[in-house]
Structure 1
Amino acid sequence: MNTKNALTVISATILVGVEVLVAGVAGGWALAGMFGLGEIGAWVLEAAGGAFALYLVYGFFRSAIKHEPIT
């Protein structure tokens, strides 16, 4: 196992993941506020934004593993 590559991939994934997740949740909150959807609508859009963000982070991690193999 290449620990240097593993540390790089994990660190980058955490950094990108936090940024994308916060942007997804904040985007859901902003859209709910802009369209006046109320508290339940905000929760739904925040959950949808968070789920989409997690999907993007998963794609980032898979791509990072291809370019920086850890085994």
Structure 2
Amino acid sequence: MGSNQSRANYRVELHAQIFFSGLPNIFITINPCDLHHPLAMKFAGVDLDIDNLTAELMPKSHERAAIVSNH
């Protein structure tokens, strides 16, 4: 990103563009990684205790890939 001055310049340019064109129509969805995030496994129907989760309780990577591909 550079220096504080360059970030300030980008902000000024962004605000000018918003003033000229209006607010942008951008929708961003942040998703957990399907293969590594415990919530993705929970949503796929894997019985996990999210509150007391350790790496040993998670399925192996090839098992996680198979679970995700089936859902």
Q: Highest Rg: 1 or 2?
A: 2
* Category of TM-score, reference length = shorter chain: under 0.3
Q: Which has the higher helix share?
A: 1
Q: Which has the higher contact order (CA 8 A, sep 6+)?
A: 1
TM-score (normalizing by structure 2)? 0.27
TM-score (normalizing by structure 1)? 0.27
